[in-house]
């Protein structure tokens, strides 16, 4: 199968700030992970095994690499240069850091041999990352042999945020992470929190016991059996770093949406979240990979335009508020209305 | 003394992995060495059939070993005792149980070098607390096994640790030479035969703040440690125990699986979970020892008493009678109806 897959064509110069030149190719639009399997949305514990999905889909590999890879890694470096605390790891998480490095390197080298390779002679490893022009010899387990801590080293070369949770006292505690693309949450603020403390701000779900069930499930997460789920919100511009720390730079943009510009300004922001049990540390790593699609790009798929129009129009008021859509939801619905003639949508998320 | 008998055919064979539920995914291993380390304990070395490395794990993990006997399938949990840094093989220690339902007898009597077995991925329900300032490990008998792997994680680290190891008599002190060679004075031995018992009060009354204590062994030892720790004001979060309950035997009874619309007979020497599996119905499980809660099943009706043997449900939940752990629990009844 790999033999027929062409190497990815990266778009190294696109940006996620200032002039926002990020765009999706037609192929990227068609593989976008729409999180709405039907025309209404409500929370569920929508966790499923993270098994290889259809070729070409974002679920095909453990860690999806796409046309935005190089640009997203550069954006991460930009954020870290200004705010180094976007990466943190407590001292007792070192074995978990190495576990993460191994998991990601093994996956990328196996799934994208044209772009990454990993050689091992005992603990002497040789990592090659061709898109980022990195050629690194190091000793697995030896901190001094890498230019950064192991988790920082590998997540500087990976799309998406990572949070590592230690398991103890029947709970999961945030003890390490790389978070430069957050949907309005802060690693620095949440470090040391338990699973439910971390999710404290989420409305409705606590009453539905979603977190009791999710925690119980994750405490028993098994080695070799990762799971995934999708989550979503919306963001003005394809801005990856919507952090509380930088709220003044992005919060006010939500007041600029009109029924005329909503299609270009508003982006559906989908998180593909993965959870893995880590072998040597018994910790759990949580990956949060963000995908953007502008509403105009999304509307090129007629079924998706109808569905998102209906979801946005009928969304529970508490969720409208929590997801930060209050200021522009009506403008968005008005922009999408002409695409919805009332034709039923087919089940599932496929573009038809 | 390494057992390298190869004269009689292994009575068990790995079957092709069946495309069942994800939990049923197993690793195929071959027994590459067997050593009798005490009169009751055998030490098995398991290597991947394909010759490759086995999955990495953390100290305190166990595996489920699937044993396919002539008439029934056993799935028993055993702690990994080998170093988490050496993945060419896994090692387990199996004590021959006096009242074995068959699993340990099967391993002792029928499994030889060259036998092929299936195992599940390691699961850790007895992990070391990474935040501990000091680690105190207390083992009784074959309860030494999870600590052997944990000591590999602790060895050479910055956190002080000590092992207290209690056995019947010197000949029952499994793995002691290995422990002595590697850990020296960090190992304290206690022999029942010499009336030398652990001073639980002395041990638990004077530990520095931030110490975690771990106990694995017979129920009596575990209870002593838990009650003594409570009396001295230890927080529950700093006291860890692991005891896999072997599924007890009991009276035969009938179970009706409501969703499968299936009636299943549970004989005296087979667990409820094993009986359900034998009838072809999959129940998710991890530990098969009443610890993890993964196989928790809703009880729809019972015309008698549930016999709870797990360490997972609270006393209140047990008396409510709406849930059961089929891995170790049974019922005194004519008929039990489960939501399966």
Domains of chain B (ranges, CATH numbers): 22-124 (2.40.30.10), 134-242 (3.40.50.80), 253-338 (3.10.20.30)
A216 vs B293: CB contact, 8 Å cut-off? Answer: yes
Please write the tens of the pLDDT for every residue from A83-92: 999 999 999 9
Q: Which of A74, A229, A296, A327 is catalytic?
A: A229
Please write the tens of the pLDDT for every residue from A133-146: 999 999 999 999 99
pLDDT lower than 50: segments of chain B: 1-23
Residues A280-285, mean pLDDT to the nearest whole number = 96
Residues present in chain B in total: 340
φ/ψ of A50, rounded to 5, equals -85, 70
In whole angstroms, give the CA distance from residue A5 to residue A111: 11
User: How many other CB atoms are found less than 10 A from the CB of residue B202?
Assistant: 9
pLDDT at A3: 43
In whole angstroms, give the CA distance from residue B45 to residue A204: 51
B293 vs A168: CB contact, 8 Å cut-off? Answer: no
In whole angstroms, give the CA distance from residue B94 to residue B142: 8
**A250-254, A343-347, B19-23, range with the lowest pLDDT:** B19-23
In whole angstroms, give the CA distance from residue A268 to residue A232: 7
Please write the tens of the pLDDT for every residue from A206-226: 777 777 778 888 888 888 889
In whole angstroms, give the CA distance from residue A147 to residue A348: 45
DSSP assigned state of A304 = H
Q: Which of B22, B23, B84 sits opposite A280 (nearest CB)?
A: B84
Task: Check if A229 is active-site.
Answer: yes
pLDDT at A348: 87
pLDDT at B156: 86
pLDDT at B14: 28
How are the residues of chain B apportioned to helix, strand and coil, as percentages rounded to the nearest 5?
A: 25, 30, 45
In whole angstroms, give the CA distance from residue B304 to residue A5: 62
In whole angstroms, give the CA distance from residue A79 to residue A77: 5
In whole angstroms, give the CA distance from residue B75 to residue B68: 9
Beta B73-79 vs B61-68: how paired, if at all? antiparallel
pLDDT at A112 over 70: yes
pLDDT at B1: 33
pLDDT at B11: 31
Give the 3-state secondary structure of residue B17. Answer: coil
A220 vs B56: CB contact, 8 Å cut-off? Answer: no
Please write the tens of the pLDDT for every residue from B308-317: 988 788 888 9
Residues of A in contact with B57 (CB under 8 A): 223, 279-280
Dihedral sign computed on CA atoms, order A297, A298, A300, A305: negative
Give the 3-state secondary structure of residue B220. Answer: helix
- Is the ipTM higher than 0.85? The answer is no
pLDDT at A76 over 80: yes
Cβ B279 vs Cβ B265: under 8 Å: no
pLDDT at A64: 98
Q: Does B133 touch chain A (CB under 8 A)?
A: no
Residues of B in contact with A281 (CB under 8 A): 58, 130
Percent of chain A with pLDDT over 90: 82
Cβ A284 vs Cβ A277: under 8 Å: yes
Q: Does B12 touch chain A (CB under 8 A)?
A: no
- Higher per-residue confidence, A12 vs A216: A12
């Amino acid at each position: 199968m790999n033999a027929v897959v062409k190497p990815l064509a990266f778009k190294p110069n696109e940006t996620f700030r200032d002039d926002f030149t990020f765009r999706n190719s037609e192929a990227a639009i068609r593989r976008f992970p729409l999180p709405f399997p039907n025309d209404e949305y409500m929370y569920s514990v929508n966790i499923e095994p993270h098994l290889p999905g259809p070729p070409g889909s974002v679920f095909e590999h453990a860690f999806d690499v796409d046309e935005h890879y190089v640009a997203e890694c550069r954006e991460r470096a930009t954020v870290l240069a200004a705010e180094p605390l976007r990466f943190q790891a407590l001292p007792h998480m070192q074995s978990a850091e190495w576990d993460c490095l191994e998991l990601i390197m093994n996956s990328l080298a196996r799934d994208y041999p044209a772009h990454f390779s990993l050689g091992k002679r005992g603990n002497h490893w040789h990592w090659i990352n061709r898109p980022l022009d990195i050629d690194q010899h190091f000793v697995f387990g030896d901190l001094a042999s890498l230019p950064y801590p192991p988790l920082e080293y590998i997540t500087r070369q990976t799309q998406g945020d990572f949070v590592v949770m230690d398991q103890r006292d029947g709970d999961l505690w945030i003890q390490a992470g790389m978070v430069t693309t957050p949907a309005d949450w802060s690693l620095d603020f949440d470090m040391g929190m338990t699973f439910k403390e971390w999710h404290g701000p989420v409305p409705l779900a606590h009453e539905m016991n979603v977190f009791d069930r999710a925690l119980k499930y994750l405490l028993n997460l098994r080695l070799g059996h990762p799971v995934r789920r999708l989550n979503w919100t919306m963001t003005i511009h394809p801005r990856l770093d919507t952090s509380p720390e930088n709220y003044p730079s992005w919060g006010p943009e939500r007041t600029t949406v009109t029924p005329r510009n909503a299609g270009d300004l508003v982006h559906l922001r989908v998180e593909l979240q993965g959870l893995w049990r880590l072998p040597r540390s018994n910790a759990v790593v949580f990956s949060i990979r963000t995908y953007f699609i502008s509403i105009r790009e999304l509307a090129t798929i007629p079924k998706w335009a109808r569905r998102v129009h209906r979801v946005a129009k009928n969304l529970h008021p508490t969720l409208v508020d929590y997801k930060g859509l209050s200021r522009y939801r009506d403008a968005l619905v008005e922009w999408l209305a002409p695409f919805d003639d009332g034709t039923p949508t087919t089940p599932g998320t496929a573009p038809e | 003394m390494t057992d390298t008998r190869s004269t009689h055919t292994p009575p068990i064979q790995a079957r092709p992995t069946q495309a069942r539920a994800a939990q049923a995914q197993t690793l195929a291993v071959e027994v590459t060495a067997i050593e009798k380390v005490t009169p009751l304990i055998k030490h098995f070395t398991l290597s991947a059939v394909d010759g490759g490395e086995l999955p990495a794990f953390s100290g305190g993990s166990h595996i489920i070993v699937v044993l396919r006997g002539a008439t029934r399938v056993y799935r028993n949990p055993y702690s990994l005792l080998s170093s988490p840094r050496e993945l060419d093989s896994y090692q387990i220690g199996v004590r021959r149980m006096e009242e074995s339902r068959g699993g340990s007898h099967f391993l002792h009597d029928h499994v030889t070098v060259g036998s092929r077995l299936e195992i599940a991925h390691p699961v850790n329900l007895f992990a070391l607390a990474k935040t501990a300032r000091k680690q105190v490990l207390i083992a009784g008998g074959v309860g030494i096994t999870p600590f052997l792997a944990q000591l590999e994680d602790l060895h050479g680290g910055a956190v002080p640790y000590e092992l207290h190891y209690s056995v019947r008599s010197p000949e029952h002190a499994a793995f002691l030479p290995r422990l002595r060679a590697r850990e020296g004075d960090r190992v304290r031995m206690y022999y029942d035969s010499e009336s030398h018992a652990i001073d639980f009060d002395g041990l638990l009354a004077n530990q520095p703040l931030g110490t975690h204590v771990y106990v694995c062994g017979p129920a009596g030892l575990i209870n002593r440690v838990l009650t003594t720790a409570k009396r001295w004001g230890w927080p529950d979060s700093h006291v860890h125990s692991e005891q896999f309950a072997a599924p007890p035997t009991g009276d035969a009874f009938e179970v009706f699986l409501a969703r499968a619309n299936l009636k299943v007979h549970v004989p005296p020497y087979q667990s409820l979970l094993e009986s359900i599996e034998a009838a072809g119905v999959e129940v998710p499980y991890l530990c098969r020892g009443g610890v993890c809660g993964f196989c928790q099943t809703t009880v729809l009706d019972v015309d008698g008493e549930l016999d709870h043997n797990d360490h997972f449900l609270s006393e209140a939940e047990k008396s409510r009678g709406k849930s059961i752990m089929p891995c170790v629990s049974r019922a005194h009844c004519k008929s039990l109806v489960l939501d399966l």
